Structures are given as C-alpha cells and as structure tokens.
C-alpha cells in the first residue's frame, strides 16, 4: 500500500499536461465564440439598421393606405393612389382576412410559405420572402451576409485598374435581396406588404471585416500568451518529474522512482506467479575509497555502477541507489522452485559483482550483497486473478540489507540470503539497545555468583561474578544474549564498572557484617582493557566501598591478548601493583598463545571447559594438555582454575593434577548473592 508520503511524491512526479492543454483549448473556444458573436453582432447591427429603415418605409405606406381606406376608397383604389403619396415607386401586395392575395403590383409577389424572422434586430417585423428572390429557407436569409472578402480586399488595391475611384468602388452593392415587409394597418381587415430590397455595399462588409481583424488581433494576444504559458508549464512539469526521480549522485533514477516502480512491478497481475529477489548491493569500505581517491572519484564509481546496472536490468526489473554506496535491485528470478530461484539469484549476483569489480581493475573494490527472496504469490483460495497486496518495497529492501549485514566477513564475495531468524536477531539487538540504559538505572542487572571449590578439600574458596539481566518485561536474560551486543555498542564498559562496583559493595558489606571473606573474580571485557588508565579507574570504583584489593580478581579473556599488548601489559602491571589479582579467562578456548603467558605477569590461569569435551580420544588428549598447562602455570607461579567442570571423574582428574580450584556445574551453578551467602555459611 502506498504511504501518504509516497502518494504526495508520486503526485508531484506525475506529468499532468492535460489540464494545461484543456485550459488552453477552452480558452481558444471561448475566443472563437466571442469572435463569432462579435461578428454576428456587427452584421446584425448593419443589416438591422437597413431592415429597420425598410420597416419605417412600410409603416409610412401603411399609414397612407389606412387614410385612403378611411376616405372610403376600396383596397384596389387605395393601392393605386398610394404611389402619389409616397417617395419612389413601391411594389405592394394586399391580402384579405383569409390571406388571399387581393392585389399585387410589380413583377413578383410575396412567398407566404417562407416567413422571415427578424427578432434578433430587437423588434418584431413581419416579413416574407419574395417569390423570385431565390431564398429556399428562412435561415438562408442570413447567408446574405456571407462576405466575399477576397473580392473586397483584392479589389481595394486594384480598383484603379478598373477606372473607379475608391469611394465608387466601396459603394458598389454586392448583396441584393428582395423581400416583403408587412406594414402595420389599423383594423381594415386587410394586410399590406411592401416589397423591400436589402442591399449591402462593399464598405458595409469591409467594416465587418476590419472589426473582425481588430478583434482577432486583440484576442490573439491572450491566446498566444496562454499558449506560451501552456508550453512552459508542460516543459516545467516534465523537468519536475525528471528532477523528482533524479539521483543527483549517480545521475540515474532515485529511490523514490525505485520504490514506485518496484511496487508497480510486484503488484502486476502477470507478475504475481513469478519469483523476485530484492537485492542490496553494497560497495565495501566506500568511505575509505572516497577518502583515498577523493569524493569525485567516489561519485564517479557510483555513476559507473549505475550505468552498468541500467544496462543489466531487464524488463520487469528495477534498480536505484538507496543511500551511500548501497544499491537496491529488484530482480526477476528464473526457475521452478525455491532452490532454483536461489541458485539463479546467486549466480546472477555473483556475475554482476564480478563485472562490477572489473569496472575499476586497478583498484581493489569488494562488493557484498544481501538477498531477500520474494516467492511467487499464490492466494489462499488459489485463484489466478489475485495480486500481491501491501507490497512495502522499503521493508523488502530493509530485509535484504539486514541479510547483507550478516553476510560472512571472510568471503571474497559476501552474499547472504535473508531469513526470519535474522530479523529476530536484529529486532532483539534493537530491543537491547533501546532498553539497556533504563535497565542499568533500574538495577535490572544483578550479580550472580558461581562458587569455585578446592577439589582436594571440597571447600568453597572463591567465586566468579556473572551478570544476569532480570528484565522487568522479559524476565531473566543470560549474558550470551546481550554481552556480544554490548561489546559491539561499547556499553560493555558501563556494565563492567557496574559489576565491579556491586562486587566491591557486596564485599564491603560482608566485611561489615563480619562474614567470611571470599575472593570474587569479575570479568573485564577486552574493549575495556584497551583503555588507558583502566587500573586507576578500577581502583577508584573499588575504593568507593573500601574492600581489600586482594579479594578482587579481574578476569581478562584470552582474546584480549591479541589487541594492543603494550597497553594490556601496562594495565595488568598497574592492577597488580594496586594489589588486585588478574586472571586469564577461557585459556584454550580460542587460539592460545603461550607468548601471552610469557609476557604478562598473570596470577591465575582459567582453563576452558572445552578441554574436557569431545570423544574418548579427544578427552584423553585434552587431559594431557591440561596436565601440562597446569604444570606450566605452576612453573610460572600462577594458580589454576578449571572452568565448566560437570562430572566427578573430571574433578578427580583435576585434583590428582593439583588444580587449585574448580568452577563448574558439578559443584554449583551461578546463583543470586543471598543463596551464595547461605552456601558459604553451610560450607564453614
Ligand atoms: P566466563 O567468564 O567464561 O563465565 C563462565 C561461563 O561458564 C558462565 O556463563 C557460567 O555460567 C558458565 N559455566 C560455569 N560452569 C559451567 C559448567 O559446568 N557447564 C557449562 N556448560 N557452563 C558453565 P555465563 O554466566 O552465561 O557467562 C557467559 C560469559 O559472559 C562469561 O564467560 C563472560 O565472558 C561473559 N560475562 C558474564 N558476566 C559478565 C560480566 O559481568 N562482564 C563481562 N565483561 N562479561 C561477562
Ligand atoms: Mg569469566
Ligand atoms: Mg571463562
């Protein structure tokens, strides 16, 4: 489903040229209508004046006729006498009450089948066509106004040739139309029609044309302006659409375009039964590349990638840069089942990466990719006409990105597929990061103590402080679930401080309460050891409560010895100088280096429980290593703690080897402080 934001941008990106064109066409139509109306008005005005004149004349004839009739003349006599009283010869026609012609003068008569309407002139005139006028319909009367423009204008320049003056030529009549105008009569029972001749001179028509041209010129200005404006707005809209979808770094299409296009592809009906893959393609150490070769070179690389990908992306596929050096790629997968889709996908991504690497052969550029498979969509009812719904392109890409983050760092081409566990892990990490500060404030982290025993005497002689997160919302969380996250985020140093302080406080309370003092070891993370001034810092934390320094042992994991050895050696020496004991934790769990034993003056060696695991032969060989390790530690004046001991025979073996302490489930699991205190009392 499209978000409101998406809709807003999609709206901006749409090329809406039709409204502009529509407005222009409408305006043009209005102009044409206005022009026609103006011309019509003008023609009506000219011809109307003439018709009104004819009516006046007819009225005069009517008055004379009425008067002659009033004098007692018959209609025929009155018709004859009329000529004496009116100016010029008038053809008249008299009809009786039933419309029969009583009398008609002249060579034609009214054609009563063709009534002419002159309402538009503003007054109603009763008029009929002439029997010889050639008019075939009432409307055709308007046709008289059809103006022979060429005739006028060609002639306007050529009249000299015909030996006429301009005035003569303009006065020439070019329209001539006979008709009969009804004269209004008093109630004599007759109707009187006077024959009129409607004429238009060339100049009448020229006026209409001149006015028309003026109107065209005036109307043309806004039409041209609007036309230019419409063109501009179309061009602007095109540019806007291009800009909205432009990635300014690669000069290609941007993420907004990708989001819209990928959604369109995935929700098409014909694509619903096809498998797709959302790929996150990432340039490894891009920032380093930019720092070394310059920002411009970095952008050129991305441009080259964009150009390359656009040539490789087919129909029903899309790509765009997401951010930084990450490209999103929607890929159509060939195959018939999950396995084939994956195979196709990985092959194609590999070959893309291989070709991309070749873009800059002189520089070593590594790519890695995360792939989120989008299987064919089959609706619950199995019907073919369903399409993918609620496609969230960003979410699909986020999962591809999550897979990319988890891809194996040691591979040359790091490619990983997304699975739901990944999402679970990432959600968990986020939860931890979001909640850890509050958890520390609320004292949700608790100290658990795991006793250490002397295998020869079976006495409790020490303990290791292990953290437990008793979350108010989730319950108990063991360190394996959050320590690695803390190590990544750096929060581990805060946790270490917290544990050291709590252990120091606990021991101070034991001292005050007169309880048996048990040495307790605390884990200090490798990240912490890399900090300068750590010994002073720990000293301050412990001294805030005041227990004896000898009662606190600090465990450093063996892997810390691979970091900056100088700082480590310095810190260990200082800690020892302050009276703390320092132990090497998990010896034998990773890549042990005997060198570290040589260089660092440690007090305790903690053997990892792994030595005692494996098959019979492995255990036997492990025992040999343990025996020699204990001997080595003794020679170096170190005491030995064996961790992870679960079985009696292991205890017996370690006792026989003179191992100083054992820490393991065989004796006890890590427990809350109160429980531990009870155990110490029972042990006494
Ligand atoms: P570690 O320091 O090596 O702690 C020993 C781990 O082994 C503890 O796991 C303990 O419960 C477990 N263990 C002890 N005996 C046995 C046994 O017989 N069998 C088995 N299977 N396991 C046994 P835990 O408490 O889960 O801690 C795991 C790791 O988390 C610790 O390993 C340590 O590296 C880290 N950690 C725990 N608490 C803290 C802390 O406060 N600060 C720091 N920096 N790391 C801590
Ligand atoms: Mg430990
Ligand atoms: Mg350990």
User: How far does the centroid of ligand 2 lie from the alpha carbon of residue 209, in Å?
Assistant: 107
Q: Which atom of ligand 1 is nearest to the CA of 586?
A: 3
- Give me ligand 1 centre to Cα 630, in Å: 21
Average pLDDT over residues 391-396: 94
CA 231 to chain centre: 28
Instruction: Indicate whether residue 109 lines ligand 1 (CB < 6 A).
Output: no
**Residue 181: count of CB within 10 angstroms of its CB:** 26
> Can you tell me which atom of ligand 1 is nearest the CA of 448?
25
- pLDDT of res. 147: 44
Residue 316 Cα to ligand 2 middle (Å): 55
Residue 139 has pLDDT above 60, yes or no: no
Residue 71 pLDDT > 50: yes
Average pLDDT over residues 276-283: 96
Nearest-CA residue for atom 37 of ligand 1: 466
Asked whether residue 597 carries a pLDDT value surpassing 50, the answer given is yes
Alpha-carbon span 438 to 435, nearest angstrom: 6
For 336-388, the pLDDT digits (tens) are 999 999 999 999 999 999 999 988 888 888 999 999 999 999 887 878 888 99
- How far is the C-alpha of 678 from the C-alpha of 449, rounded, in Å? 12
Exposed / middle / buried, residue 364 (Cβ in 10 Å: 0-12, 13-18, 19+): exposed
Helical spans, DSSP H, in 467-558: 483-489, 492-513, 526-529, 534-543
Between vectors from CA 656 to CA 650 and to CA 662, what angle results, nearest 5°?
50
- Give φ, ψ of 640 to 5 degrees: -120, 135
How close are the terminal C-alpha atoms of the chain, in Å? Answer: 69
Lowest mean pLDDT among 302-306, 511-515, 566-570: 566-570
CA distance 472 to 467: 16
Strands 110-117 and 101-104 turn out to be unpaired
Question: What's the gap in Å between 585 CA and the centre of ligand 2?
Answer: 5
Determine the pLDDT at residue 272.
Answer: 93
Identify whether the C-beta of residue 90 lies closer than 8 Å to the C-beta of residue 195.
yes
**663 Cα nearest atom in ligand 1:** 15
- pLDDT computed for residue 335 by the predictor: 94
Tell how far the Cα of 629 is from the centroid of ligand 3, in angstroms: 16
Residue 598 pLDDT greater than 90, yes or no:
no
Nearest to 244 by CA among 234, 259, 254: 254
Chain length of the chain = 684
pLDDT score of 462 more than 90: yes
Q: How far is the CA of 541 from the centre of ligand 3 (A)?
A: 23
Q: pLDDT for 99-109, tens place per residue?
A: 899 889 888 99
Q: Answer yes or no: is the C-beta of 644 below 6 A from any ligand 1 atom.
A: yes
Residue nearest to atom 3 of ligand 1 (CA): 586
78-82, 306-310, 366-370: least confident range? 78-82
Q: Taking residues 46-59, report their average pLDDT.
A: 85
Pocket probe for ligand 1: among 468, 479, 587, the residue whose CB has the most ligand atoms within 8 Å is 479
Q: What is the DSSP string of 121-139?
A: GTS--EEEEETTS---SSG
CA distance 675 to 240: 72
Q: Which domains does the chain have, with CATH numbers?
A: 21-215 (no CATH), 255-418 (3.30.70.270), 444-672 (3.20.20.450)
What angle do helix axes 4-13 and 202-244 make, rounded to 10 degrees?
140
pLDDT of residue 560: 67
Q: Is 478 in the pocket of ligand 1 (CB under 6 A)?
A: yes
**What residues have CB less than 8 Å from 519, skipping those under 6 apart?**
461, 462, 463, 550, 551, 552, 553, 581
Query: What single-letter DSSP state applies at residue 1?
Result: -
**Could you give the 3-state DSSP secondary structure of residue 449?**
strand
- Comparing CA positions, the residue from 297, 300, 281 lying closest to residue 289 is 297
Q: Check pocket membership of 590 for ligand 1, CB cut-off 6 A.
A: no
pLDDT digits (tens, 9 = 90+) for 314-343: 999 999 999 999 999 999 999 999 999 999
Q: Which atom of ligand 1 is nearest to the CA of 499?
A: 41
Over range 662-674, report the average pLDDT: 97
Q: How far apart are CA 109 and CA 132, in angstroms?
A: 8
Question: Using a 6 Å cutoff on CB, does residue 650 contact ligand 1?
Answer: no
* Nearest residue by C-alpha to atom 26 in ligand 1: 479
CA-to-CA dists, residue 274 to 199, 267, 309, 661, angstroms: 81, 11, 21, 63
Q: What is the mean pLDDT of the chain?
A: 87
Higher pLDDT, 165 or 671: 671
CA distances from 630 to 586, 598, 602 (A): 14, 15, 14
- Residue 407, pLDDT > 80, answer no
Q: Please give the number of the atom of ligand 1 that sits closest to the Cα of 447.
A: 41
Q: What percent of the chain has pLDDT over 90?
A: 53
Find the mean pLDDT for residues 119-145: 63
Rounded to the nearest whole angstrom, what is the distance from the C-alpha of residue 496 to the centroid of ligand 1?
14
Beta bridge mates, 220: none
pLDDT in tens, 561-596: 666 778 888 899 999 999 999 999 988 877 666 777
Please list, in sequence order, all residues whose beta carbon lies within 8 angstroms of the beta carbon of residue 308, skipping any fewer than 6 positions away: 355, 356, 359
- Centre of ligand 3 to C-alpha 643, Å, is 6
User: What spacing in Å lies between the alpha carbon of 53 and ligand 3's midpoint?
Assistant: 124
Name the helix (H) or strand (E) containing 586: strand 581-587
Q: Is the pLDDT of residue 82 over 90?
A: no
Q: How high is the pLDDT of residue 123? A: 64
Q: How far apart are CA 421 and CA 265, in angstroms?
A: 28
What's the CA gap between 568 and 668, in Å, rounded?
Answer: 32
Ligand 1, atom 46: closest residue by C-alpha: 523
- Quickly state the pLDDT bin for 430 (edges 50, 70, 90): very high
CB-CB contact of 613 with 592 (8 Å): no
Does the C-beta of 670 come closer than 6 Å to ligand 1?
A: yes
What's the mean pLDDT in 41-53?
A: 81
* Ligand closest to CA 487: 1
> For residue 13, what pLDDT is reported?
64
Ligand 1 neighbour 495 (Cβ under 6 A): yes
Sheet with 275-283: strands ordered across: 318-323, 326-333, 275-283, 367-374, 414-417
Classify each residue of 452-473 as buried b or exposed e, where b means 16 or more C-beta atoms within 10 Å of its C-beta.
bbebeeeebbbbbbbbbbbbee
For residues 491 and 614, the model is more confident at 491
Residue 279 has pLDDT above 90, yes or no: yes
The 3-state secondary structure of 150-215 reads HHHHHHHHHHHHHCCCHHHHHHCEEEEEEEEEEECCCCCCCEEEEEEEEEEEHHHHHHHHHHHHHH
The ligand with the least distance to the CA atom of 478 is 1
Tell how far the Cα of 587 is from the centroid of ligand 1, in angstroms: 13
CB of 553 sitting under 6 A from ligand 1: no
pLDDT of residue 160: 52
Whose C-alpha lies nearest to ligand 1, atom 23? 644
Atom number of ligand 1 nearest to Cα 486: 44
What are the CA-CA distances from residue 143 to residues 130, 131, 140, 201, 205 (Å)? 16, 17, 5, 15, 13
Task: Give the residue whose CA is nearest to atom 2 of ligand 1.
Answer: 523
Mutate to test the pocket of ligand 1, among 440, 450, 451, 466 (most ligand atoms within 8 A of CB): 466
Name which residue sits closest to atom 22 of ligand 1, judged by CA: 644
What is the CA angle 372-375-378, rounded to 5?
150
pLDDT band at 144 (very low <50, low <70, confident <90, very high): very low
DSSP 480: G
Query: Does the pLDDT value for residue 264 go beyond 70?
Result: yes
Which range scores top for mean pLDDT: 34-43, 402-411, 593-602, 649-658?
A: 649-658
Facing residues of 374 across strands?
Answer: 276
Residue 642 pLDDT grade (very low, low, confident, very high; cuts 50, 70, 90)? very high
Return the residue whose CA atom lies nearest to atom 45 of ligand 1.
523
* CA 629–ligand 2 middle distance (angstroms): 18
- In the DSSP assignment, the letter for residue 590 is S
Residue 408 CB neighbour total at 10 angstroms: 10
451 Cβ inside 6 Å of ligand 1:
no
Ligand 1 atom nearest 525 alpha carbon? 44
Dist. CA 545–CA 501, nearest whole Å: 8
């Amino acid at each position: 489903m499209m978000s409101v934001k998406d809709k807003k941008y999609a709206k901006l990106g749409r090329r809406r040229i039709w409204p502009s064109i529509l407005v222009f066409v409408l305006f043009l139509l209005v102009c044409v209508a206005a022009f026609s109306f103006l011309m019509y008005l003008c023609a009506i005005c000219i011809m109307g004046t003439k018709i009104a004149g004819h009516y006046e004349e007819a009225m005069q004839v009517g008055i004379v006729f009425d008067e002659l009739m009033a004098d007692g003349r018959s209609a025929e006599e009155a018709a004859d006498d009329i000529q004496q009283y009116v100016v010029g010869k008038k053809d008249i026609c008299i009809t009786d009450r039933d419309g029969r012609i009583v009398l008609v003068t002249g060579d034609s008569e009214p054609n009563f089948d063709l009534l002419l309407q002159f309402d538009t002139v503003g007054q109603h005139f009763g008029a009929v066509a002439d029997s010889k006028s050639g008019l075939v319909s009432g409307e055709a009367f308007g046709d008289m106004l059809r103006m022979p423009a060429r005739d006028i204008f060609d002639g306007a320049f050529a009249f000299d040739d015909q030996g006429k003056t301009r005035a003569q030529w303009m006065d020439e009549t070019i329209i001539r139309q006979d008709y009969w105008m009804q004269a209004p009569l008093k109630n004599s029972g007759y109707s009187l029609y006077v024959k009129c001749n409607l004429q238009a001179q060339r100049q009448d028509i020229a006026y209409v044309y001149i006015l028309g041209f003026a109107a065209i010129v005036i109307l043309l200005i806004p039409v041209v302006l609007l036309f230019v404006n419409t063109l501009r707005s179309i061009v602007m809209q095109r540019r806007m659409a291009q800009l909205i979808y432009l990635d300014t770094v690669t000069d290609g299409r941007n993420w907004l375009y990708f989001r819209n296009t990928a959604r369109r592809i995935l929700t098409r009906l014909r694509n619903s039964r096809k498998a797709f893959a959302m790929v996150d393609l990432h340039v490894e150490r891009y920032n380093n590349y930019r720092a070394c070769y310059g920002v411009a070179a970095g952008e050129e690389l991305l441009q080259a990638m964009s150009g390359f990908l656009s040539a490789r992306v087919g129909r029903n596929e899309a790509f765009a840069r997401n951010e930084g050096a990450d490209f999103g790629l929607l890929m159509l997968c060939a195959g018939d089942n999950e396995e084939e889709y994956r195979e196709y996908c990985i092959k194609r991504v590999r070959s893309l990466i291989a070709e991309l690497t070749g873009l800059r052969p002189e520089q070593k550029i590594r790519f890695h990719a995360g792939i989120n498979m989008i299987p064919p969509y089959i609706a619950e009812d199995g019907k073919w006409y369903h399409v993918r719904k609620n496609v969230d392109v960003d979410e699909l890409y986020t999962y591809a990105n999550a897979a990319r983050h988890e891809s194996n760092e040691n591979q040359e081409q790091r490619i990983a597929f997304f699975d739901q566990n990944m999402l679970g892990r990432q959600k968990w990490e986020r939860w931890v990061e979001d909640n850890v500060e509050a958890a520390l404030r609320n004292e949700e982290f608790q100290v658990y103590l795991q006793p250490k025993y002397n295998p020869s005497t079976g006495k409790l002689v020490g303990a290791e402080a292990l953290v437990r997160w008793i979350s108010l919302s989730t319950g108990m969380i063991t360190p394996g679930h959050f320590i690695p996250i803390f190590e990544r985020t750096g929060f581990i140093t805060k946790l270490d401080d917290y544990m050291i302080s709590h252990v120091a406080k606990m021991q101070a309370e034991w001292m005050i309460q007169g309880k048996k003092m048990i040495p307790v070891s605390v884990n200090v993370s490798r990240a912490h050891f890399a900090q300068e001034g750590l010994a002073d810092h720990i000293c301050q934390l412990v001294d805030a409560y005041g227990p004896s320094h000898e009662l606190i042992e600090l465990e450093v994991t063996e892997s810390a010895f691979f970091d900056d050895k100088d700082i480590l050696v310095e810190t260990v020496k200082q800690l020892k100088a302050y009276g703390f004991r320092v132990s090497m934790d998990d010896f034998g769990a990773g890549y042990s280096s005997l060198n570290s034993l040589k260089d660092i003056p440690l007090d305790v060696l903690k053997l990892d429980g792994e030595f005692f695991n494996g098959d019979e032969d492995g255990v036997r060989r492990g025992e040999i290593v343990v025996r020699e390790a204990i001997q080595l530690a003794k020679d170096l004046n170190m005491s030995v703690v064996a961790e992870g001991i679960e079985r009696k025979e292991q205890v017996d073996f370690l006792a026989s080897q003179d191992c100083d302490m054992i820490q393991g489930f065989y004796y006890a699991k890590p427990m809350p402080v109160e429980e531990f205190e009870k155990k110490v009392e029972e042990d006494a």
